[in-house]
């Protein structure tokens, strides 16, 4: 029997986690960092199910994915704040109302009031 215990972790899960982490950081402008970072964390967890010591590539993948999840959550929080600020600005609401009138020949308030998603 081979007593070499260095290769107990699955390199495919490490590679998948590393790629997910890099893609999550790279595609953060498309708000994909949170789902890709979470998927990378799933791959790291699947890699660590053998209860072996964490090797260096797995450590890097873990750092990339945790930072991507944090950055993605922060980005979504900032997006939520910006939308709230825009919708509370009367000048922006007037521009939005004019856009709805030219596109749909209706008032924005009436469209929002009759929207089934908001009922």
How does pLDDT run across 109-118, given as a tens digit for each residue?
Answer: 777 777 776 6
**Would you mind telling me the total number of residues written for the chain in this entry?**
119
Q: Where are the alpha helices (DSSP H) in the chain?
A: 11-26, 33-47, 56-88, 90-104, 108-113
Contact 43, 16 (CB under 8 A): yes
Q: What share of the chain is helix, strand, coil (3-state, %, to 5)?
A: 80, 0, 20
CA–chain centroid gap for 62, Å, is: 16
First-to-last alpha carbon distance for the chain, in angstroms, is 67
Above 60 in pLDDT, residue 4?
Answer: no
Above 70 in pLDDT, residue 6?
Answer: no
pTM of the predicted model as reported, rounded to 2 decimal places:
0.69
């Amino acid at each position: 029997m081979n007593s070499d215990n260095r290769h107990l972790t699955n390199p495919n899960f490490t590679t998948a986690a590393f790629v997910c982490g890099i893609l999550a950081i790279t595609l953060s402008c498309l708000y994909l960092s949170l789902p890709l970072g979470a998927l990378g964390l799933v791959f790291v967890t699947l890699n660590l199910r053998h209860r072996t010591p964490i090797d260096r590539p797995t450590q890097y993948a873990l750092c990339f994915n945790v930072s991507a999840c944090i950055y993605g959550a922060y980005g979504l929080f900032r997006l939520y704040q910006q939308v709230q600020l825009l919708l509370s600005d009367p000048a922006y609401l007037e521009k939005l109302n004019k856009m709805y009138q030219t596109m749909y020949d209706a008032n924005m308030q009436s469209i929002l009031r009759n929207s089934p998603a908001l009922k």
